[in-house]
Amino acid sequence: MILTDFNKIDTSLYTSNNVKIDCFEHKEESILVINITGKLEDGSAAANDCNYIREQIAIAIYKTTPIAIIIDIQDMQYQYGNSIINAFAPLYEIDLFDGDGFIYAFVLSDKNKYGLSSLWVFDIDSPREGIYYNFDKAMQYILERYEKI
């Protein structure tokens, strides 16, 4: 095989000293909770951390094949930058169920809602469906949709 027309790619995983990710699989239902804590740097300085988040979310999805996902970022600081869009891309890019997509919700806090409201275009006093400031409300949203399947 001749590979002179190809560049070798690095398949090692990203690492981060700024954010930590813990994943939890529901004991009975097909629900994955991804808890992200730490601080994202502003702007493009967060690119490596966001690549790390993206990989970890993708790995968790492939390992658990959930129907529903809660992304809990209440303890993650974020002010501004586009790199975070890449971090959550697996929610839209991974298709385990022939185009049906995942049921998902985000749990935000004062540490990130201002920056994300600007990027995701929502009113912080009345966020759209799927965006919550309380884990229990996000879980209620997930369970209501989950039971309709």
Averages of pLDDT over runs of 10 residues in the chain (149 residues) are 82 93 96 98 96 97 97 97 94 89 96 95 95 98 92
- Reference 88, options 119, 126, 118, 128; nearest CA is 119
The pTM score is 0.92
- Reference 41, options 52, 28, 27; nearest CA is 52
b/e map 119-138, b = 16+ CB within 10 Å? ebebeeeebeeebbeeeeeb
- Reference 58, options 4, 7, 94; nearest CA is 94
Find out whether 70 and 137 touch, Cβ atoms under 8 Å: no
Q: What is the pLDDT of residue 4?
A: 84
Find out whether 54 and 86 touch, Cβ atoms under 8 Å: yes
Q: What is the pLDDT of residue 1?
A: 63
Q: What is the pLDDT of residue 71?
A: 98
